[in-house]
Amino acid sequence: MPSLKDLKNRIESVKSTRKITKAMQMVAAAKLRRAQESAEASRPYAERFNAVMAGLAASVGGSDSAPKLLRGTGSDDVHLLVVMTAERGLCGGFNANIAKLARAKADELRGKGKTVKVLTVGKKGRDALKRDFGDLFVGHIDLSEVKRIGYNNAQDIAKDVLSRFDGGEFDVATIFYSKFVNVVTQIPTAQQVIPASFEGTEDDDSGAVFDYEPSEEAILADLLPKGVATAIFSALLENGASEQGARMSAMDNATRNAGEMIDKLTIQFNRSRQAVITNELIEIISGAEAL
């Protein structure tokens, strides 16, 4: 049975931990607001961009003149998985869920006899996949020094991916990230970016006919690389909001758990102290009776 001193030290230790988790919760809440605003502000542009690109891609179809980023290499033997996670932990299952989705996709592709390559963005994704897929890693992008994600960060990642595609290193590229819904819910998502795949809504420019100058093929050739960067940028912003939401939720749970532990330890401490006092009183009474 722990002594009173041990219980007191443990209570103080848990109280210190609760202060830290509470502070981290408040910091995450402040960061979440900015990250959520950025993620939500990017969605209308990304959705409209995809709708326009969907129309262009539909008009070009699978013709030989279509840009390579749209029609692909004609094969799907080599897949590049771009796994985007956080640089830090203490955010619940945020990083683990993205890594789990990427791991399942990699296992599925390898089961079909496909070649898999992995490009990681964020330290936690690299650490989670290193043991099982370390031999498949082709690169890592470190964002630990980036205080606030910008479009230039997405462009750097897109340039890396596009240069590998132009060099014939892979046929299909898929990005993995977590889509932000709310503080409690973040959905691990896989999105194919090469060959480009766009989904337009039925009411977007319904019945309208457009003449493009220059040709649709030329416009697509110019916009498709930007489409890859846009998809990566949106994913990074969604990840940023999801990370802070998951961390806020995790630190809130940790703070409450610490409070419950303090209550239990305090009860145990009081009972132990009461037992000590009772024993001392019994010894005093016994000594007085002996005299």
Q: Which residues are catalytic?
A: 91
Query: Which DSSP string corresponds to 110-164?
Result: HHTT-EEEEEEESHHHHHHHHHHHGGGEEEEE--TT-SS--HHHHHHHHHHHHHH
CA distance 200 to 47: 8
CA distance 267 to 76: 63
Handedness of CA 132, 229, 89, 246 (dihedral sign): negative
Structure tokens at 200: 């337009």
- What are 190's strand-pairing partners? 176
Long-range contacts of 267-276 (CB under 8 A, 24+ apart): 268/7, 269/4, 269/7, 269/8, 269/11, 272/1, 272/2, 272/3, 272/4, 272/7, 273/4, 276/4
